[in-house]
Amino acid sequence: MLLDPLVERYLTQLRVEGGLATNTVEAYRRDLFRLQQHLRTHRLGISDVVSSSVLRSFLAALKQESLASSSVARILSAIRGWYRFLVQERVLSGSPLREIAVARRPVRLPRTLTRPEVTALLELPVRDRVEDQRDQAMLELLYASGLRVSELVGLTLSQVDLNLGCLRVVGKGDKERTVPMGQTARDLLCDYLDHIRPVLLKQSSTRVLFVSRRGQGLTRQAFWKLLRQRARRAGITKSISPHVLRHSFATHLLEGGADLRAVQTMLGHADIATTQIYTHVERSRLKHVHRKFFPRQLKRRGSDGTQA
């Protein structure tokens, strides 16, 4: 993809100063290339003055492609940032997007597990296999620390401080944060390090914390598979992924009265607006509780549970 040198400067700024992950920057590169191709059909360059009608035709073309709303939102974010950059660099006097009203996406609440479901998953009876004991420690740590699956499988021995009960996690954009792990996760991790990991490693050695019988780190796909298997054994029928546990971690913290800023720090979110989605989950839960138990609501129900 051949892009304007100014675009490359913008992408470098996002990576170096903005701390965006490489995958995000590459997605933005593809989005801006898509914009560049559209502008060329109008005999315009990507840094030229563009009318709002040209951009509206670009957005209309995106609609016709039946892209996911999340993809369209990302493309708009890339373009909005690009024109903001051009204004900052004084290439343009203003953003052409300011004349375009973009419909807000409906808030899509993250899927979570209930507290009983988390308990069933984490307290699943351990089988007489060292992998099962390793898996139990991994799941407890994932939920207790709100890690991303890539952060979990990428943990090294040097990132674990058992004395303090903390992890030093390297997240998106190579940003580092310290996360507490909780006493239960700490105890399981100590047992894993003392009795399980040496059995899995045999004579090999590695800095990776969680390993397979081949003495290698687990892949994200391998962990996803074992999580689904354990969820089925625990009787959990809803769709589950490592990120569902991360969502559950944040939601349960806020339900317990945790400060939003503290949750943001533990999750490693650069923007608190990303963390605020979990307040929507909490409000949704409270509305459900209100509808179910509020006396004035109950009076409107018949004895068979239908509205009177």
- Catalytic residues, which ones? 148, 172, 243, 246, 269, 278
Q: At 100, list the tokens.
A: 């375009």
CB 202 within 8 A of CB 215: yes
256 Cβ contact partners less than 8 Å away, ≥ 6 residues apart: none
The span from the CA of 218 to the CA of 246, in Å, is 19
Three-state SS annotation for the chain:
CCCCHHHHHHHHHHHHCCCCCHHHHHHHHHHHHHHHHHHHCCCCCCCCCCCHHHHHHHHHHHHHCCCCHHHHHHHHHHHHHHHHHHHHCCCCCCCHHHHCCCCCCCCCCCCCCCHHHHHHHHCCCCCCCHHHHHHHHHHHHHHHHCCCHHHHHCCEHHHEECCCCEEEEECHHHCEEEEECCHHHHHHHHHHHHHHHHHHHCCCCCCECCECCCCCECCHHHHHHHHHHHHHHCCCCCCCCHHHHHHHHHHHHHHCCCCHHHHHHHHCCCCHHHHCHHHHHHHHHHHHHHHHHCHHHHHCECCCCCEC
Pairing of strands 160-161, 176-180: unpaired
The residue count of the chain comes to 308
